[in-house]
Amino acid sequence: MTKHRLPLENLRVIELGTLLAGPFAGRLLADFGAEVIKVEPPGKSDPMRNWGKSKDGVGLWWPIQSRNKKSITLNLREEAGQSILRELVKETDIIIENFRPGTMEKWNLSYETLAEINPKIIMVRTSGFGQTGPYKHRAGFGSVGEAMGGLRYVTGYPDRPPSRIGISIGDTLAALFATIGCLVAVHEREHSGKGQVVDTALYESVFSIMESIIPDYLLAGYVRERMGNILPGVAPSNIYFTKDKTYIVIGANADNVFTRLCEAMDQPELADDPRFATHNARGENMKLLDSMIEEWTKTLPAKEALEILEEKGVPSGLIYSAKDILEDPHYKEREMIVNVEHPQLGEFSMPGVVPKLSRTPGKIKHPGAEVVGKHNDEVYRELLGYSQERLKELKNTNVI
């Protein structure tokens, strides 16, 4: 098989910062071939190395978050470390940082400073509240972004306090928007020859996916509240109990799909029932409709109900756990579970690359650097031309 060229192989990225949002953006770029060099302070690694469950002392989240990346150590709190980063910037396309606004400026590493060294540099900045505004200096984690972006308010059940989604969705959304902004800036640079700042705030990334909550409130006087497993006015779209005591998801809110659901339930007359014949009518009669659907699903095992729904073309599925995902043949066929050799754990399974490109797909080459500063020699000696003696001196003075 001919080895294809990865689409971002011409980009070099310096990843600063820790934990989730910035490093996740670095992972996305690395998946498609960018040379991502992750910087960690000497003697104080990224906490993500130890987050989550572990096996034989190895954190199981880290190989996913740091896959395809190189690792170097550099003390940005020291002037010597700042000077080295400025040298790296000369050979770099993109800087990713997710420190509190003002930190890079305090270290004499502002965008203006770096752009004087390399006018093409793109600085991707992810923070709780952005680089401007009255809240810019506030500390901001993904949880706060989810809360102030509006997501927590509508998540959960109406008789209970606001809930969180079971993953770090605020950080992930910020990373996705940061990556989009980064690639837009790379494309624009082809025309202007200049870099720019990509300013991504966690709360804005969450708020941007909050659909019509603002005009709902301003123009219709409606505040969307917590509604559990449903969306207001959208029916049927819920989870339904089955005979073998499990739940399946059914989404049949479009008129033509609802007609097919009625046929699957052997109740075709419901499609013309005035209570359910239109989108608005189904929304107004949601509770009744959901109870009727569940009366049907409770007569069948989940597998049989899903087979009938699939035959009729009704979107439906089980609610998957990790075990279900691993056993699903579609995940396997789509290469969404990728096995990578880990130097300590052996075969290591992780999510595949998204999205799928037909001609130049992304690739997972390795599970990240298991040792902090693993690529110090490669980066400092080969890229910057430092001697072994200088590396030793920098190490002894805690610069690297």
For the chain, list the domains and their CATH numbers: 12-209+334-396 (3.40.50.10540), 237-318 (3.30.1540.10)
What is the C-alpha separation between 84 and 398, in angstroms, rounded?
13
What is the C-alpha separation between 196 and 211, in angstroms, rounded?
29
Residue 376 reports pLDDT greater than 60? yes
DSSP letters, 243-282, are TTS-EEEEE--SHHHHHHHHHHTT-GGGGG-TTTSSHHHH
This prediction's pTM: 0.94
Residue 1 reports pLDDT greater than 80? no
pLDDT in tens, 290-327: 999 999 999 999 999 999 999 999 999 999 999 999 99
Nearest to 298 by CA among 245, 243, 236, 244: 243
Residue 340 reports pLDDT greater than 60? yes
Residue 2 reports pLDDT greater than 60? no
User: Does the annotation mark 255 as catalytic?
Assistant: no
Q: Read off the tokens for 334.
A: 């789509």
In this prediction, residue 164 has a pLDDT band, given cuts at 50, 70 and 90, of: very high
Please confirm whether the linkage preceding 355 is cis (ω < 30° from 0).
Answer: yes
Catalytic residue (choose from 31, 46, 93, 171): 171
